[in-house]
């Protein structure tokens, strides 16, 4: 693979950075150490400006090219880890109990640092590269929070590009799905407020477990009975908590879960149905049911032209045989979608030699791909901001 030579020769350095971040994972909005490492390295690399504290722990670096030009390209990496107990037995495994870089964001951060060093040294572009290290991708809304703190007002971008590693065993395979690519997501919490009673005298209460059980069945009917079969959506109940004794019917039961969708009408319909079903059951059993539904990620939409440009840049690094235009929708979500809603751009996946899926306690990232990811990110800046 014709990885940019100045980046290829730094594979040991990149691997060391990645493994250090891996050993010290931090959950969303708590990436204090990670953020400090990023700031320190960007400063040492001679990046023109380094701004911190955006979206709590986010960092933004700015590099101006040799050539003058008004255009600005953003590159984004995420920095947070997951609440998972690592089970890899690697020498650089997580040193923090119950927290693990199981989605490879340690690698994304490292690849963007690799691109930053190269871009700061070579500056073979006309305009400005904006390096966005964002916190809290895993469901906590780090992208939104950075934008809420004025990310694109303070550091305007004409285009933004992001990347995610894909442990599919095919090193260097780059894929993009142009257009609608990944699902938007809502999280919901429901509290059934029944009336507790002795388990032997249910007639004296209103059984929250029975009502919540019926509610789970009702919620699972929404996608199959209300969404047109030609449209996709997922509703999963992921949590059901109630009771703690053999002889007590608890007064409350709580349910939580997620909805994934690919268009706004479907999202609105599902939200309405969740509320209607809860209201109907509440009425039927003469109880209160509280519903809280929150949109957490937008639908990820890749700009068609910029998807092609990103693949063309990647082809220069991984070869034309290793790029793919995908037409598979992904029901997973990604909060870079929120940035892509504000600024046109594209998001690709980069295959590597790992074979255990992300979010698994045994997930292992393949460090050999670090220079490839860094080179693709650097190259898209040079191509989009050609001198």
Task: Please report, as ranges, the residues that interact with Zn ion according to CB under 5 A.
Answer: 103
Picking from 139, 35, 87, the residue whose alpha carbon sits closest to that of residue 361 is: 87
CB of 104 to Zn ion, least distance (A): 6
CA distances from 177 to 24, 305, 373, 378 (A): 33, 12, 18, 21
Q: Given the complex with Zn ion, which of 343 and 358 has the nearer CB atom?
A: 358
Which residue of the chain is nearest Zn ion when measured via CB?
A: 103
Q: Given the complex with Zn ion, which of 332 and 344 has the nearer CB atom?
A: 332
Q: Given the complex with Zn ion, which of 125 and 336 has the nearer CB atom?
A: 336
276: Cβ–Cβ under 8 A, 6 or more apart, which residues?
none
Sign of the torsion formed by the C-alpha atoms of 279, 283, 284 and 288: positive
Q: Given the complex with Zn ion, which of 21 and 103 has the nearer CB atom?
A: 103
Q: Can you tell me the distance from the alpha carbon of 262 to that of 234, in angstroms, rounded to the nearest whole number?
A: 10
CB of 358 to Zn ion, least distance (A): 5
CB of 169 to Zn ion, least distance (A): 18
CB of 101 to Zn ion, least distance (A): 10
Q: Given the complex with Zn ion, which of 82 and 381 has the nearer CB atom?
A: 82
Report the SS3 class of residue 62: strand
What is the DSSP secondary structure assignment for residue 357, as one 8-state letter?
P
CA distances from 215 to 209, 237, 256, 357 (A): 10, 10, 11, 32
Q: Given the complex with Zn ion, which of 103 and 339 has the nearer CB atom?
A: 103
Residue 111: enclosing H or E segment and its boundaries? helix 105-122
CB of 115 to Zn ion, least distance (A): 18
CB of 137 to Zn ion, least distance (A): 6
**Within 10 Å of residue 247's Cβ, how many Cβ atoms?**
7
């Amino acid at each position: 693979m014709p990885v940019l030579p100045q980046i290829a020769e730094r594979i040991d350095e990149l691997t060391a950075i990645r493994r250090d971040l891996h050993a010290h994972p931090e959950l969303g909005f708590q990436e204090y150490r990670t953020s400090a490492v990023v700031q320190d390295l960007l400063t040492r690399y001679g990046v023109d400006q380094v701004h911190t504290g955006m979206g709590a722990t986010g960092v933004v670096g700015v590099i101006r090219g040799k050539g003058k030009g008004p255009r600005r390209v953003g590159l984004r990496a995420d920095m947070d880890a997951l609440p998972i107990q690592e089970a890899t037995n690697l020498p650089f495994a997580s040193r923090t109990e119950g927290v693990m870089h199981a989605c490879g964001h340690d690698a994304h951060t490292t690849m963007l640092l690799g691109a930053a060093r190269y871009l700061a040294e070579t500056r073979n572009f006309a305009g400005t590269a904006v390096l966005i290290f964002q916190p809290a991708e895993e469901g906590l809304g780090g992208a939104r929070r950075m934008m809420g703190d004025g990310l694109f007002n303070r550091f305007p971008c004409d285009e933004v590009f992001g990347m995610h590693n894909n442990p599919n065993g095919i090193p260097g395979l780059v894929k993009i799905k142009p257009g609608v690519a990944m699902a938007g997501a809502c999280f919901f919490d429901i509290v059934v407020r029944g009336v507790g009673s002795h388990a032997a005298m249910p007639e004296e209460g209103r059984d929250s477990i029975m009502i919540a059980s019926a509610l789970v069945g009702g919620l699972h009917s929404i996608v199959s009975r209300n969404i047109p079969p030609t449209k996709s959506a997922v509703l999963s109940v992921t949590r059901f908590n109630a009771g703690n004794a053999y002889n007590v019917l608890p007064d409350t039961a709580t349910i939580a879960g997620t909805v994934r969708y690919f268009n706004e009408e479907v999202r609105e319909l599902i939200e309405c149905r969740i509320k209607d079903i809860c209201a109907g059951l509440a009425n039927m059993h003469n109880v209160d049911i509280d519903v809280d539904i929150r949109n957490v990620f937008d639908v990820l939409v890749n700009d068609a032209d910029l998807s092609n440009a990103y693949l063309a840049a990647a082809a220069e690094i991984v070869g034309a045989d290793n790029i793919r235009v995908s037409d598979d929708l992904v029901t997973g979500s990604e909060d870079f979608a929120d940035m892509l809603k504000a600024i046109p751009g594209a998001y690709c996946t980069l295959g590597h030699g790992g074979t255990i899926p992300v979010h698994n306690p045994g997930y292992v990232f393949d460090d050999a791909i670090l220079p490839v990811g860094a080179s693709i990110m650097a190259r898209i800046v040079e191509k989009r901001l050609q001198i």
